[in-house]
Chains A and B, each alone.
Chain A
Amino acid sequence: MESKVFTAKTVEDAVTDALKEFRVLRDEVEIEILAEPKSGLFGLLGTKDAAIRVTKIDKPSKNVTAIEFLENVCEAMGIEVSIQVEDKGDYTYLSIQGNALGVLIGRRGETLDALQYLLNLAVNRQTGEKPHIILDVEGYRDKRRETLERLAGNLAKKAKRTQRSIVLEPMNPQERRIIHTTLQNHPYVSTASEGEEPYRKVVIKLK
């Protein structure tokens, strides 16, 4: 652990210096006061600076916490898995491989979404960071995206042919966004979301 002694006129000044040097926030360090400052006689004789020891707290890394959580959960579910992590910049992509993983996906990805939600909460709780982890099982997310893109295209055609709006089944925000994005430049239809979560659904309307 990184640790260093800082001195300044006041304890507060020393803390400020330390946080600046370590480039961290107040709750990411441990501070031990070694000496209180003394102002001395007439502020001249016998003045003493404050001295503090500042130690950086090692927080568990996001990725390690995420993998541990998943391994423990899957083991308790009785599923053998291996997990891969990829850092994608603004999000982390965690992919699970193994046998008979349909159970982890569930109907329309319901279990996978639940697990992804709990995973993000658990990592946030344990590291204090706001993680953005996308959880995937054997390429399910990509396959689902393709399915939704195809569905969007087909339903847009149907809307045009029948001259009627089409209401899709309820979907989560990520899935609705795929439909919106797929049809955003469509010449004949526009899309909107209606209803309240978790029953919010996309409506395909004629322009």
Chain B
Amino acid sequence: MEKLVEIIAKSLVEHPEEVRVTTSKHEDGMVIELRVANEDMGKIIGKQGRIAKAIRSVVKAAAINNNLKVSVEIVED
């Protein structure tokens, strides 16, 4: 799942080398944390969060396909 988030994020941003994806396990599933360069935040969130929503929707589908529970969080440092 981490790989999927990474592939999508890297193909959307101006600075793919600054994309960082980490996973933490919680009782109710995995949380994938996505970090990108500051100026790329807009490219990953989109107007009214449209891009972020699309990413979550694709990741959710993949998670269901693999019997996992996954949520994606975009982290601003």
Binding site for B on A (CB under 8 A): 69, 72-73, 76-79, 100, 103-104, 106, 110-111, 113-115, 117-118, 121-122, 125-126
Contacts A118-B12, A121-B51 known; A72 to B66 CB distance under 8 Å?
no
Whole-angstrom distance between the Cβ of B70 and the nearest chain A Cβ: 11
- Report how far A122 CA is from B57 CA in the complex, Å: 16
User: Among B4, B12, B57, B62, which residue has its beta carbon within 8 angstroms of that of A121?
Assistant: B12
User: Among B4, B8, B57, which residue has its beta carbon within 8 angstroms of that of A110?
Assistant: B57
Interface size on B, residues (CB 8 A): 23
> B43, A118: Cβ atoms under 8 Å?
no
Across-interface contacts of A125 in B (CB, < 8 A)? 11-14, 43
Whole-angstrom distance between the Cβ of A164 and the nearest chain B Cβ: 33
> B12, A103: Cβ atoms under 8 Å?
no
Across-interface contacts of A106 in B (CB, < 8 A)? 57, 61
| B58 contacts A by Cβ under 8 Å | yes
| B7 contacts A by Cβ under 8 Å | yes
> A73, B4: Cβ atoms under 8 Å?
yes
Q: What are 10 A-B contacts defined by CB distance under 8 Å? A: A73-B4, A76-B1, A77-B4, A77-B62, A78-B65, A103-B65, A104-B61, A111-B58, A118-B54, A121-B51
> A114, B8: Cβ atoms under 8 Å?
no
- Report how far A77 CA is from B68 CA in the complex, Å: 12
- Report how far A72 CA is from B11 CA in the complex, Å: 11
Among A72, A76, A79, A110, the one with the most B-chain Cβ atoms within 10 Å of its Cβ is: A76
